[in-house]
Structure 1
């Protein structure tokens, strides 16, 4: 029996030119390179220029992904953009990207699930393709988190950076088995009881301002390891694969200690985990596609590989996707 499935045919990324190292951060708040690196694994982060909006980062990543796929923006019929830092309250940042790419048909919309946003967006685009509502889709994770940081709070401002990553999906027909190509399974979760552990203290209907990021770091760490492990187990249970069969794990790049603890809990060696947090810091919805673009770009991720994506973000939200490359 044949089935329509989403296949990733192009990956792209974009990082702002400006870099803040840990030494630079020490000039801003009471911290040090050693303090940051030992707790997070972060060495530096990219910061958007004053003139750069989230849509600018997203558009650059999108163009790179389209170039890799060998198609133009006019051939797309769907854009799903994951971001917690949109250009404006409305319209969706995705429609700015749509206009910039010369796409005048189909649909474009934003998804807000914070650090899990890219996997949420990927799932929605995959569902559109499986239902026959789309044939060519662009999925983007893009953030300018530097705009919502409290630069006096050393426990949070050192953790985040700006960037964007994107993938192009194409509808293709296969035999529908888990040994076949494409997005095999996705799993999404949320639990609003954890709202106050990671949030922004502003918004149009509450304060009328964008607000600043607030986080209970220890609690987030604890829940991140358990929930990401659970959603990975869910993906493996659905498909029947074992951890040993996973070629590459591409996790949300929040903190190296979280990544290491999750991998250890699942028995997956760090040699099979793509890490970019040291150079990008936590870029929220952009972190997974940025790391994915690195893994594809340097040849680590190859055709036929089994690739696992996993993330957790404010809300809490958490998600996984298993892909046959």
Structure 2
């Protein structure tokens, strides 16, 4: 018998983030909507969020995060760029080729991933396949979203939840046993719930045309209670799956980084896992739900706060529209985010 071939694994070697400088506090929202700081904090845990200025697009955030990720990795280029986003610059073409161009990467392959808030983990899985097959030696995965562009100005629930931002990682082909190597992701979807999180109009199902503009709904809509029930169940299940693939029990997890959607969801997932809430990293109070950017932003924030050290066992998980969900785990490397 021959030994099984050990395929290259995606190894985290660079991490960069970017938040637009404009900050909207709960008090700012209360001057426009029937809400208050107490109402928002009690229901979401969010105190403020970053929002782009007019004229700033998703690609602008992605490019800045990508530059910082390259600096963190100490490299000038990568072989492939993947952008996970629900808010591309345009419906057509994809945003990733423009991002690669603006980063000075020439004609490298570049494509978008659309899995809403789970997009970063889906992008990570796509990168793992490229690295394992030798199609690329290095891949940049960027989660970037400008949800402020698709929120109903009069909807206090969604406007309180979401912020804009971008987070990027550089991955290289390496050994599955080395620090920074992401284990095989656990991913899933359930299209029967596709109406729980959606933008009703603007796609091929309900295109916006002059004759239908008055009845079109171009804004983000979400059925919050249904989403919460599904998110807690699916993220807990996926998190256990990836931990067990590493041979970890719940007590072995040093830091749990869940998609920063809502403090009640993060805590409910931890409670279902039997994981102490003190091992959850939370920074949604300062940035809100940044969709596909959520996990890389949270990882960078945890590192900056001194909560991540080389060798720490980290589990990440997310849930988004589609419905989609996933989780991935790694031993944290010796890394300085930029």
TM range, normalised to the smaller chain?
A: over 0.9
Extract structure 1 runs of 4+ deviating beyond 3 A: none
Cα separation, 2, equivalents of 1:140 and 1:180: 21
Match of 2:42 in 1: 38
CA contact (8 A) 1:185 1:323 kept: no
Match of 2:191 in 1: 192
The 3-state SS of whatever aligns with 2:244 is helix
Cα separation, 2, equivalents of 1:203 and 1:142: 20
The 3-state SS of whatever aligns with 1:155 is helix
Cα separation, 1, equivalents of 2:51 and 2:295: 18
Question: Which blocks of at least 5 consecutive residues in structure 2 are unaligned?
Answer: 209-215, 333-338
Cα separation, 1, equivalents of 2:250 and 2:123: 25
CA contact (8 A) 1:204 1:210 kept: no
Q: How does 1:123-162 map to 2 (within 5 A)?
A: 123-162=125-164
Cα separation, 1, equivalents of 2:243 and 2:294: 22
Match of 1:320 in 2: 327
Match of 1:204 in 2: 203
The 3-state SS of whatever aligns with 2:185 is strand
Cα separation, 1, equivalents of 2:217 and 2:129: 32
CA contact (8 A) 2:13 2:180 kept: no
Cα separation, 1, equivalents of 2:112 and 2:58: 12
| TM-score normalised by structure 1 residue count | 0.95
**111 and 210 in structure 1: CA distance in 2 versus 1, 3 angstrom threshold:** farther
Per-residue CA distance 1:173-192 (angstroms, 9 max, x = gap): x3x45x76501120111101
| TM-score normalised by structure 2 residue count | 0.91
The 3-state SS of whatever aligns with 1:224 is helix
Q: Structure 1 residue 240: deviation in Å?
A: 2.3
**41 and 11 in structure 1: CA distance in 2 versus 1, 3 angstrom threshold:** same
Count residues with an aligned counterpart: 320
Match of 2:213 in 1: none
Match of 1:4 in 2: 8
Match of 2:336 in 1: none
CA contact (8 A) 1:308 1:323 kept: yes
* Aligned residue among 87, 90, 93 for 2:92: 90
2:75 matched to 1:68?
no
RMSD: 1.5
